[in-house]
Amino acid sequence: MDAQLLRSTFAVVERRAEHAVTFFYSHLFWHNPGIRELFPEDLRPQRDRLFAALTHVVNRLEDPGLPGYLARLGRDHRKFLAAPVFYTAVGTSLVAAFAHAAGAAWSVEAEKAWTEAYGRIADLMMRGAEEAAGRGEPAWWDADVVAHTRRGEDLAVLTLRPRQPFPYRPGQYTGVSSLRVPRVWRTYSLANAPRVDGTVDLHISQVPRGLMSTALVARTRAGETLRLSAPGGALTARTEPGAPRTYVAAGTGWAPVKALLEEVAAREGGAEARLFVAARAKEYLYGREDVERLKERIPGLHVTYIASAPGRPRDQATERLVHALHTCGNWPRHDVYLAGPPGFLHEVTPVVEALGADPARIFHDRLPAVDRLHPRPATRAERLIEPPALLWHDPEARDPRGR
């Protein structure tokens, strides 16, 4: 693949991303009307994910891990019932959209490069889908809701029992679909290590205007059936037994961290570990009873809870967390596991690096671009003029692809 030509043309298209993606879907559905029924009614989240995936691929054209990423993406796309004809239609519309958006920057050479590149991408994705099918992996797992527990006005814990064995590792996530919101999939972390009875927990935070999170928190009941996609993600244990580690969880980022700690408790109860559980306000600090049970099973676990003080700006929690992290030492010895919404991770990751943590030993799921993230206001006056976006309870913003 001509990486330089692909990147230069993509840079032009990227400046008109919204226009390009709108043209793409219009072209795709006009020429392939039967494909429209595979997509949700609201295409806005889908448009964002499409361009995020394209950006990921273009930025890593020479990365030896790219074929594996595309194979996993193809495996995941089985839940959309994506047949080979679907990939062909998408490729045709994608090249047409790029040509339209690039304008004078488009050329015969660019069209040839993108056609060949997309062909390679589609082949790797379809190969990943075929390999998953060959292993007997279903396109999705039907899972019965056996319990629905509210943890406040906008938070619920769902316990599900998949009807087929659902293999996953602690720290991973899964896509979730409900008949209440047809053809929509949202990503949520699995909140427990594998159990003998096969059940799994999901921690769902209701997001303003979030169709899926609202359906799961406010309307789903025990006895209903949800669909789960193939598990994925990079927040899995790498630490050698007995080695020290630090866990930092914000909001529903507690879910994958809880699963990781359950794994530690089962395998190496004497581990040296420190846990920071943060939330933007005290009422969002949930799951303390689970933390106390884990402390009993992991005597070397030291826990710090972080939240904004009553009546203070909610982003004060981040400032308190950063201060607490600075009081800790031995960062070069620790593996660090971070879990939370993208805005939180974008802020905390450079902090732990500056404290001395080895960047190669800081683990989290890959972050999508956070274009709406602005510098933190330095004074109370700046907060009043332009309050910072609150991204701590936005599990649906989590990147669904993994590291």
pLDDT at position 312? 67
315 vs 173, residue with greater confidence: 173
Of 270, 262, 271, 268, the C-alpha closest to 294 is 262
Residue 323 has pLDDT above 50, yes or no: yes
Phi, psi of 368 (to 5 degrees): -75, 165
Alpha-carbon distance values, 353 to 78, 226, 302, 325 (Å): 38, 39, 21, 11
Per-residue pLDDT band at 68 (split at 50, 70, 90):
very high
- How far apart are the C-alpha atoms of 297 and 269, rounded to whole Å? 6
Strand partners, 362: 336
pLDDT at position 38? 82
pLDDT at position 83? 87
pLDDT at position 220? 96
Per-residue pLDDT band at 143 (split at 50, 70, 90):
very high
Phi, psi of 267 (to 5 degrees): -105, -35
pLDDT at position 82? 86
Q: What's the whole-number mean pLDDT along residues 204-223?
A: 92
Per-residue pLDDT band at 152 (split at 50, 70, 90):
confident
- How far apart are the C-alpha atoms of 271 and 381, rounded to whole Å? 45
Per-residue pLDDT band at 104 (split at 50, 70, 90):
very high
Residue 378 has pLDDT above 80, yes or no: no
If you average pLDDT over every residue of the chain, what do you get?
A: 87
Per-residue pLDDT band at 176 (split at 50, 70, 90):
very high
Per-residue pLDDT band at 155 (split at 50, 70, 90):
very high
* pLDDT tens digits, 233-245: 989 999 888 889 9
Per-residue pLDDT band at 313 (split at 50, 70, 90):
low
Per-residue pLDDT band at 55 (split at 50, 70, 90):
confident
pLDDT at position 244? 94
- How far apart are the C-alpha atoms of 260 and 265, rounded to whole Å? 9
* pLDDT tens digits, 23-52: 999 999 999 998 888 888 877 777 777 778
pLDDT at position 368? 44
- Output the CA angle 323-329-331, nearest 5 degrees: 100
Per-residue pLDDT band at 54 (split at 50, 70, 90):
confident
- How far apart are the C-alpha atoms of 294 and 303, rounded to whole Å? 10
* pLDDT tens digits, 228-279: 999 999 899 998 888 899 999 999 999 999 999 999 999 887 789 999 999 8
Residue 353 and residue 362 in contact, taking contact as beta carbons nearer than 8 Å:
yes
pLDDT at position 292? 94
* pLDDT tens digits, 80-103: 888 889 999 999 999 999 999 999
pLDDT at position 314? 63
> Of all residues in the chain, what percent carry a pLDDT higher than 70?
89
